[in-house]
Structure 1
Amino acid sequence: MLKCPIPSCLLLLALAAGPAQAASLQQIQYRLHQDPQAEVAAELRLLAERGDRASMRLLADVLAGSAERNQQQEAIALYQAAFADGHGQLDALVGLANFSERLPNGHDAQRAFFSQAVQRFAPTRDINSVTTSLDLFLVYPELYLPAQVRELISLHQRACLETCASALYRARLAEQQGQRALADNLYLSALRSDARAVERYYQFLGEEQDELFPARVSGLLGQIDSLPVAVVLAIGSLLSSIPREHDPQVMQWLDNAIARQAEQARVSKASYMMSAPQSYSAEEVFALIDQVELTRPQEGRALRASAYLVRGWRSLDPFKAHEIIQALLAEGYQNAYLNLGELYSMGGLDQVDQAKAIASYRILAARGVPSAFYRIATLYGGGKGICHDKVKAYAYAKIAVDGGELGARKYLKELAQQISQEQLNQALQARNGIIRDIEAAL
């Protein structure tokens, strides 16, 4: 019989039981499937520290969704470690490429790494390398020759059984070669099956994207029930982010996604309704927020704080909003700084205080949150109670657009028409300076 002091025995038993009780990667993946917001970073980090590259890749995905710059930087390092110079998880490259596109200056910052990475494995080695290469081509088309891409698409078409993305790859290739009519048709075809095609097509449409995209996708409404829910959600969310007059089409897409249990569609719908208070009632929005809070309590409460700041509704109550914001910040919900900036900017508690608003937004801007840069841009560009500076406004708006803030695109175009070429050059220099300051502070 084992003889030892009781505390020591308990410690030995706990250590012996620890590895057996630790969650496996498969268990963690299942929990994330059930609840995408599940707290799994600590468990994944334990597996990653043991050298499990699949866990490194998944942990990188989890951290990539954070607004914290240190976690974003850790995600980049984990993606690269999981790839292991071509000896590990090839699809970690795809995760890193997609993540880099969402970061201010991230696409350019990672180009040198990807230039080397694509040399570390044979693109036609197997179906995994073929798909990885094609997915990288979507983000970094300049790293591949057209003939090479055509060969990869041919191999992909022969090998794929269910999820074939050849229309999207062919659309990107046609775009790269300047065949715009062909690319347009191929993107529209890809929209029927691949959610990634939604933003790619929007980007492809160029300067008139905010007018052309709604017109193009309206032709798909008759097929909405047969489209994948991910496509429906992506279209509805993108449409809701385009600054324009109230568009009933937005609600058709989002309501269809909600009916098919896409939780994010409720968030997009509530935000869209708040942007058009003359068309929707506070009661409708608060009822929707109640549903969001059931599955995303903090995000739902942040929406509720925003709803209490909507002018034109009798529910306007900045003090209730402030109470919610303070509670969220105390819980560590960093995105509540967006709500706090909005509260200061509108003068909800006292006088308009744009200095405090900008300070609140800068907390998130330092973490690389694109919407924070956009809000700072709008204050410098036309905020009440602040000296306007179109050059600064353009610099911040450009960072927001580069980071994927769709709503900032139209504003950036408007600013470009209001400043001279010399001022534009100054704004681009200011943009680079802002990014350098953020990176230096890490």
Structure 2
Amino acid sequence: MLALASSAHAARSLEQVRYALFQDGQAEVEEDLRHLAARGDLAATRLLGEVLASRSPANTTQAIDLFKQAFADGRGDIGALIPLARLLDNKPRWREANRTYMRQSLSRFTPGRDFIAVDTRLEVFLVYPELFTQDEVTRLIELYDRACLIYCHAPLYRAVAAARYGDRNEAEKWFQLAVESDPRAVQRYYDFLGEQRNVLFRAFAERLAPRMNALPIDLVHRIAQQVANIRNIEISTFNNNRPTTRAQNDEEKAARELKAKAHASLVEQLDREVLQWLDNAIERDFGPAMLSKASFLMTAPDRYSPEPVLALIQRLEQRQNNSPTLSMVERENPITPQRIKALRASLHMVLWRTLDPRLSQRLIAELQAEQYPEALLLEGDLYSQGGLDEPDQDRALALYMEEARQGSVNALLRIARLYTYGRAICRDNGKAYAFAYAAHELGDLRASDLMHSLSTRLTPEQRDTATAEGNRLIEESTL
């Protein structure tokens, strides 16, 4: 009977699988897709790679192999290079490891033979601009403009091309246009702005704010995340530069107090900027923004109360029961009941009246039984914060390392932060840098600024040693 049920389940066609994913981005379709892929269906092979890549960073190696199988040296699905390029984007280690493959793949099909070939090459260009000449990119964008009718990304392609070939004014113009339609442009524009990027990006977001209602909802959320990242950088920079000695006189004491007040005022302003973007997305019923705001408020328990977080959690739970009309972004990456439960577990770790570490522990145990991917990280957080007793950083580190070895980039970043800021642990800038480096190389953009901050506290020799250790960690996490 079980064999017959399995056979019937695996008999779903690719069209039926696509429809199941349209209804629920977390639908159980892996068995169907593997069955179809084993029969040589290259479209199913590509979709299997996309599903695996979207569900866990630990699947990166397998997804890369599936995209390559679907491409089949140019004889199969040419467009499979698009999700492959997007998967490799912002992952320096993976990007470097697959450069030769991408160069060879570009020679396997004619550049302008059809729209898919043009679109594919331009998507690869975003990740590997060094593989293209300026004339080739110009020609590809011209062809793309003629053929693309909806969901076009020409502004982003033009922005990256202008930046690549040294025309900063053109790049600035096209990046600002791209940011209004393509969430992928946000990080690229931020990086393009250089050393003054925090100030310049905030100014740009402020000019854009009056028109946020007209912007795509996922882009509004992405800008909120970028401004939140700037806010976290400002807090981290201030804390790292705090004097370690007592003020020697009244003048020095007054200067420090003035600087602290100015910083507090900046953080307060940044909070308002973050929340205006998040609240706009929440007013438009965007679930990911609800998650982001709840997490954001929990990072500052001294300035916020638990009531707004509880209200957001309840709203997310109601959405689960009421089956609202979801945007394409949410259909592809729906907020699962487990994700909401994880948010509750985090809430009960915060030093508010809702503090209840035992309840948090029970929720985490349930998540582990349900095989929620980040349950062990939550358990590590509980030990790290001392929810059950005194902080137990050794236990937290053991749990984080267990997840890191399974490919969790979040775990690597948690360990880096623990060695940088952790309580009840001997802080170690060298170890922190090694883990931040590993997280950065594997694609966590949040690790970049932590790496930069830590590098100023290490000698060149210490950085070399930490980098070597980071490379070893990468091997452990990905092989």
TM-score, L = length of structure 2: 0.84
Summarize the Cα distance change of 1:18–1:369 in structure 2 as closer, same or farther, 3 Å threshold. closer
Which of 85, 94, 99 aligns to 1:111? It is 99
Which of 109, 118, 139 aligns to 1:121? It is 109
User: 1:230-267: CA deviations, max 9, x gaps?
Assistant: 32222223333441424222222222223334322221
Summarize the Cα distance change of 1:406–1:191 in structure 2 as closer, same or farther, 3 Å threshold. same
For residue 39 of structure 1, give the secondary structure of its aligned residue in structure 2.
coil
Alignment-derived partner of residue 44 in structure 2: 55
Q: CA deviation at 1:34?
A: 2.2
Matches of 1:148 and 1:190, distance apart in 2: 21
Which of 350, 373, 377 aligns to 1:310? It is 350
How well do the aligned residues superpose, as a CA RMSD in angstroms?
A: 2.3
Are the aligned partners of 1:237 and 1:265 in contact in 2 as well (CA < 8 Å)?
Answer: no
Alignment-derived partner of residue 262 in structure 1: 286
Are the aligned partners of 2:57 and 2:409 in contact in 1 as well (CA < 8 Å)?
Answer: no
Alignment-derived partner of residue 334 in structure 1: 373
> For residue 86 of structure 1, what is the amino acid of its counterpart?
G
Spell out the pairing of 1:212-361 with structure 2 (5 A cutoff): 212-242=200-230, 243=232, 244=234, 245-246=267-268, 247-293=271-317, 294=320, 296-311=336-351, 313-361=352-400
Which of 85, 106, 118 aligns to 2:73? It is 85
Spell out the pairing of 1:27-66 with structure 2 (5 A cutoff): 27-66=16-55
User: 1:167-217: CA deviations, max 9, x gaps?
Assistant: 111110111123233212211111111222112212323444344323222
Summarize the Cα distance change of 1:418–1:288 in structure 2 as closer, same or farther, 3 Å threshold. same
Of residues 287-296 and 35-44 in structure 1, the stretch that sits farther from structure 2 once superposed is 287-296
> For residue 180 of structure 2, what is the amino acid of its counterpart?
R
Q: CA deviation at 1:27?
A: 2.2
Alignment-derived partner of residue 253 in structure 2: none
Summarize the Cα distance change of 1:211–1:274 in structure 2 as closer, same or farther, 3 Å threshold. farther
Give aligned pairs, total. Answer: 427
Q: CA deviation at 1:15?
A: 8.9
Q: CA deviation at 1:103?
A: 4.7
Of residues 332-341 and 255-264 in structure 1, the stretch that sits farther from structure 2 once superposed is 255-264
Are the aligned partners of 2:49 and 2:64 in contact in 1 as well (CA < 8 Å)?
Answer: yes
The runs of 4+ residues in structure 1 deviating greater than 6 Å are none
For residue 219 of structure 1, give the secondary structure of its aligned residue in structure 2.
helix
Matches of 2:430 and 2:362, distance apart in 1: 35
Alignment-derived partner of residue 67 in structure 1: 56
Q: CA deviation at 1:435?
A: 1.3
For residue 55 of structure 2, give the secondary structure of its aligned residue in structure 1.
coil
Summarize the Cα distance change of 1:190–1:409 in structure 2 as closer, same or farther, 3 Å threshold. same
Structure 2 residue 440 is matched with structure 1 residue 401: yes
Summarize the Cα distance change of 1:104–1:308 in structure 2 as closer, same or farther, 3 Å threshold. farther
Matches of 1:218 and 1:82, distance apart in 2: 43
Of residues 182-191 and 359-368 in structure 1, the stretch that sits farther from structure 2 once superposed is 359-368
For residue 411 of structure 1, give the secondary structure of its aligned residue in structure 2.
helix
For residue 172 of structure 2, give the secondary structure of its aligned residue in structure 1.
helix
Summarize the Cα distance change of 1:130–1:254 in structure 2 as closer, same or farther, 3 Å threshold. same
Summarize the Cα distance change of 1:329–1:211 in structure 2 as closer, same or farther, 3 Å threshold. farther
Matches of 2:385 and 2:7, distance apart in 1: 56
Are the aligned partners of 1:236 and 1:253 in contact in 2 as well (CA < 8 Å)?
Answer: yes
User: 1:114-144: CA deviations, max 9, x gaps?
Assistant: 1211111112111110011001100111111
Q: CA deviation at 1:298?
A: 0.3
Q: CA deviation at 1:397?
A: 0.9
Are the aligned partners of 1:149 and 1:173 in contact in 2 as well (CA < 8 Å)?
Answer: yes
Alignment-derived partner of residue 131 in structure 1: 119
Summarize the Cα distance change of 1:164–1:398 in structure 2 as closer, same or farther, 3 Å threshold. same
Of residues 326-335 and 261-270 in structure 1, the stretch that sits farther from structure 2 once superposed is 261-270
Q: Percent identity?
A: 43
Matches of 1:110 and 1:48, distance apart in 2: 23
Q: CA deviation at 1:16?
A: 13
Q: CA deviation at 1:345?
A: 0.9
Summarize the Cα distance change of 1:438–1:16 in structure 2 as closer, same or farther, 3 Å threshold. closer
* Runs of 5+ unmatched residues, structure 1: 1-6
TM-score, L = length of structure 1: 0.90
Matches of 1:139 and 1:383, distance apart in 2: 35
Are the aligned partners of 2:429 and 2:458 in contact in 1 as well (CA < 8 Å)?
Answer: yes
Alignment-derived partner of residue 4 in structure 1: none
Which of 455, 458, 467 aligns to 1:419? It is 458
> For residue 57 of structure 1, what is the amino acid of its counterpart?
R
